[in-house]
Amino acid sequence: MKTVKFFGLFLAALPFLGLAPRPTLAADPPADRGEYVARLGNCVACHSIPGAAPFSGGLKMATPLGAIYTTNITPDLKTGIGTYTFADFDRAMRLGVAKDGHYLYPAMPYPSYAKMNEEDMQALYGFLMKAVPAAEVANKPSEIPSPWNARWPLAIWNFVFANDERYEPEAGRDAAWNRGAYLVEGLGHCGACHTPRGFMFNEKGYGTDDGQFLIGAPLDNWSASNLRQDVNTGLGRWTQEDLTSFLKTGHNKFGTAFGTMTEVINNSTQYMSDADITAMASYLKSLPGGREKDTGSFVYDPATAKALQARDYSATGALTYAQQCVSCHLLDGAGHAPYLPPLAGNPVTVDPSPVSLINIVLNGSQRIVVDGMPDAYKMPQYRVLLSDQEIADAVTFIRSSWGNKSAKITAAAVAEIRKVTDPAGDQINILRMK
């Protein structure tokens, strides 16, 4: 079953295709303000699927109760939002209430979009209504079984967890920091993936003062990365320039985007202005670490590289790593940054949760496309070539080598993810706005 994948900061086991550098260009920001706001909010990635009209919906999203599908937000009068007034649109975006009064599932990040200012909301509405072609594409019903598909309990959810407060600049912070906070907490809705959810599917934090905000979270057979300043599992070792490079191009010396982050790079962040990218990086670098067990900076251990150099494959998974991964990620786990990232000390390889590493080895990744140029390198899928035990052993080896000190992985853990995920495929999921 194909479902939505999340922000990833790591790439493993790629075929060695040569390392000639290519330009790290990014697309120019759209001149139209409404289109730019749509890029900031990454509306096209969630409300579009390859082969269909942009913004016509249909993307399948997993929830704990069953799958739901994103809706048609083109100005079609029958199946889209063509009859919405601005007040209707504003209410849906801020409070999760559709024109006909039904409540939206909080997979739509309206608690984040509530922070948008009036000017951006007006611009986005104008763009969707005037610049996006209408497409008569019927919305798909959810796969949530009765009685759990009832919408009225969402009114209670909204009362407890949602509000329509706009973002207010924080006193004592400069304009760049406040702009970054507005984008990360609001339009960018980063917390929708990277903040843990409570038992009512509520994000446990929506802003700077919430200790759980952006601390990382499990999401659809991935582990959404910690975006706070924890030194090992977070962004503590990243410079502001590392962050801006990643958001603009999908690459830096620590990792390469995969999963849903590939779609975010392809359809959203590469189009942001340098000022906005810098503002987001400034804000993220200001967030303190939040994981109590993430102490002491990563220290590289050369023992693994020496053993592999000596052809000592006695460690669990060492032979599989030597056969499948060394050509890209090298004996010392250093990779070839920025396109073939390191495994030693990578935030994903030292994450207590192994699911991202298992998923990317099983299923591979789609290509990043920056300024119309597809990456030459992509993670292949190993679900056919390697058994569950071989993948478990290889992942165990990566997570316990070169100074990485994470726990052993079982074949059962790999088998569980194999059953509910699909290979990434070769189709590039990049869409035009109009």
* Average pLDDT of the segment spanning 281-301: 90
Q: How far from the centroid of its chain's Cα atoms is residue 240's Cα?
A: 19
121 vs 65, higher pLDDT? 121
Residue 65's identity, in one-letter code, is L
426: Cα within 13 Å, side-chain hemisphere: 1
pLDDT score recorded for residue 33: 94
The CATH number of 1-40+170-434 is which of 1.10.760.10, 3.30.420.40, 2.170.190.11, 2.60.120.1360? 1.10.760.10
Is a pLDDT exceeding 80 seen at residue 427? no
What does the pLDDT look like over 379-396, one tens digit per residue? 889 999 999 999 999 999
How much is the mean pLDDT over the chain?
Answer: 89
Contact 10, 357 (CB under 8 A): yes
Contact 340, 377 (CB under 8 A): yes
- Domain residue limits, the chain: 1-40+170-434
200 vs 43, higher pLDDT? 43
pLDDT score recorded for residue 8: 36
Is a pLDDT exceeding 60 seen at residue 404? yes
* Average pLDDT of the segment spanning 404-431: 86
- Separation of alpha carbons 108 and 61, rounded Å: 10
pLDDT score recorded for residue 177: 97
pLDDT score recorded for residue 21: 36
Q: How confident is the model at residue 378 (pLDDT cuts 50, 70, 90)?
A: confident
Contact 77, 87 (CB under 8 A): no
Say if pTM beats, i.e. exceeds, 0.85.
yes
Cis preceding-peptide flag for 352 (omega within 30 of 0): no
pLDDT score recorded for residue 30: 77
pLDDT score recorded for residue 434: 59
* Average pLDDT of the segment spanning 65-87: 96
* Average pLDDT of the segment spanning 151-158: 93
Is a pLDDT exceeding 60 seen at residue 408? yes
Is a pLDDT exceeding 90 seen at residue 245? yes
Is a pLDDT exceeding 80 seen at residue 3? no
Is a pLDDT exceeding 70 seen at residue 366? yes
Is a pLDDT exceeding 80 seen at residue 397? yes
Q: How confident is the model at residue 1 (pLDDT cuts 50, 70, 90)?
A: very low
pLDDT score recorded for residue 291: 84
Rounded to 5 degrees, what angle do the CA atoms 179, 180, 183 make? 90
pLDDT score recorded for residue 379: 87
